[in-house]
């Protein structure tokens, strides 16, 4: 099986009506964050169905899908990469990690970032105790998707009860102007709270007053109502 075979399988699941709805949902209009993106019109379950048939695709062919103009083809490529990374030995994991970095420009929508950054980049950095400077560099990037990758990659660390990088990158992104970053940072802070609510509250005690409202609302979503109201009043 090669990339062309996979593209043929995907096209069997195309829905023209879904194509239009997804284009609107993912903000592909002029000047919107996904103006660059195109959609075939496939549900995520349909993509996962094709994934089951193509999970052993060679890296070279995955690269063809990852460079596709179509979001669903890139999403499928990342599903395959994540699964292959989980199953690979140390040499294979390093190869996939480097491949991910070399093709980071194609991880360029929120669904693509959220499906892969923590499971490849976060996992590799944590498990092999690599420098986290690359996440700091991404957090400072002018590219929206690299900034989102930086914070979402720390989700793997959070699951291992390591919050240091999440808090450091969250601080860097407090003044970010993009709503998708506000949501991502707030989401990761909420994940910290799921593991250690005291750690989340310490961060909020210091930074709630300057956090963008969307970021704050995401971060406090699972706190008791009295805590939520207290932090929202600080923002006000």
pLDDT 10s digits, 6-30: 999 999 999 888 888 888 888 888 8
Mean pLDDT score, 104-119:
98
Model confidence band, residue 149 (pLDDT cutoffs 50, 70, 90): very high
Same domain membership, residue 67 and residue 6: yes
Q: Is residue 122 part of a domain?
A: no
Residue in this structure with the two tokens 């980049």, named with its chain if needed: 121
Of 115, 144, 174, the domain-final residue? 115
Structural domain contains residue 79: yes
Q: Which range marks the domain in which residue 155 is found? A: 131-236
Asked if 95 and 189 sit in the same domain, the reply is: no
CATH of the domain at 212: 1.25.10.90
User: Greatest CA span in the chain, whole angstroms?
Assistant: 57
In whole angstroms, what separates CA 218 from the centre of its chain? 16
Decide: pTM greater than 0.85. yes
Domain co-membership, 73 together with 16: yes
Q: Answer yes or no: do 74 and 103 share one domain.
A: yes
Same domain for 142 and 207: yes
Does 126 fall in a domain?
Answer: no
- Mark which of 89, 115, 141 sits at the end of a domain: 115
> Which of these, 143, 123, 121, 118, lies nearest to 134 by C-alpha position?
121
Q: Quick one: pLDDT band at residue 118, thresholds 50, 70, 90?
A: very high
What angle is formed at CA 75 by the lines to CA 70 and CA 76, rounded to 5 degrees? 100
Averaged over 129-138, what is the pLDDT? 97
Asked whether the beta carbons of 18 and 42 are under 8 A apart, the reply is: yes
Question: Are 221 and 146 within one domain?
Answer: yes
What is the per-residue pLDDT across 45-87, written as a single tens digit (0 to 9) for each? 999 999 999 999 999 999 999 999 999 999 999 999 999 999 9
Name the pLDDT band for 125 (thresholds 50, 70, 90): very high
Identify which has the larger pLDDT, 234 or 146. 146
Tokens at residue 17, please? Answer: 């009506």
Question: 136 and 87: one domain?
Answer: no
Position 123 in a domain: no
In a domain, 2, yes or no: yes
Residues 7 and 97 in one domain: yes
Residue 221 placed within a domain: yes
What is residue 86's three-state secondary structure?
Answer: helix
Q: Work out the pLDDT band at 236, boundaries 50, 70, 90.
A: low
Would you state the structure tokens that stand for residue 129, as one six-digit string?
A: 């105790």
Mean of pLDDT values over 84-108: 98
Residue 120 and residue 97 in contact, taking contact as beta carbons nearer than 8 Å? yes
**1 with 110, same domain?**
yes
If asked whether residues 4 and 111 sit together in one domain, one would say yes
Tally of residues, the chain:
236
CB-based contacts of 210: which residues, under 8 Å, 6+ apart?
174, 175
Residues 77 and 29 in one domain: yes
What does the pLDDT look like over 161-200, one tens digit per residue? 999 999 999 999 999 999 999 999 999 999 999 999 999 9
Question: What's the rounded Cα separation, in Å, for the pair 127 and 121?
Answer: 10
DSSP category for residue 117:
I
Q: Indicate whether 182 belongs to any domain.
A: yes
Residue found by looking up tokens 């892969």 in the block:
116
Q: Which of 115, 148, 163 is the last residue of a domain?
A: 115
Domain contains 125: no
Q: What is the mean pLDDT of the chain?
A: 96
Q: Do residues 204 and 230 lie in contact, with contact meaning Cβ atoms separated by under 8 Å?
A: no
Q: Report the domain count for the chain.
A: 2
Do 101 and 50 belong together in one domain? yes
DSSP bridge partners of 105 = none
Rounded CA gap, 216 and 208, in Å? 7
Q: What is the CA radius of gyration of the chain?
A: 19
As a whole number, mean pLDDT of residues 124-132 equals 97
């Amino acid at each position: 099986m090669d990339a062309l075979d996979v593209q043929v399988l995907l096209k069997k699941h195309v829905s023209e009506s879904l194509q239009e709805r997804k284009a609107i949902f993912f903000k592909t209009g002029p000047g919107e964050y996904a103006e660059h993106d195109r959609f075939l019109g496939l549900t995520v379950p349909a993509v996962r169905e094709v994934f089951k048939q193509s999970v052993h695709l060679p890296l070279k062919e995955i690269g063809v899908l990852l460079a596709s103009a179509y979001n669903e083809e890139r999403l499928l490529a990342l599903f395959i990469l994540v699964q292959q990374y989980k199953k690979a030995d140390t040499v294979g994991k390093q190869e996939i990690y480097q491949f991910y970095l070399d093709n980071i420009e194609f991880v360029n929508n929120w669904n693509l970032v959220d499906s892969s950054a923590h499971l490849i980049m976060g996992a590799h950095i944590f498990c092999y105790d690599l420098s986290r400077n690359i996440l700091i560099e991404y957090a400072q990037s002018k590219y929206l998707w690299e900034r989102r990758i930086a914070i979402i990659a720390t989700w793997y660390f959070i699951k291992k009860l390591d919050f240091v990088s999440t808090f450091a990158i969250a601080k860097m992104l407090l003044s970010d102007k993009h709503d998708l970053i506000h949501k991502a940072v707030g989401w990761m802070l909420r994940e910290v709270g799921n593991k250690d609510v005291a750690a989340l509250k310490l961060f909020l005690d210091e930074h709630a007053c300057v956090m963008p409202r969307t970021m704050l609302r995401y971060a406090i979503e699972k706190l008791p109502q009295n805590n939520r109201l207290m932090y929202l009043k600080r923002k006000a």
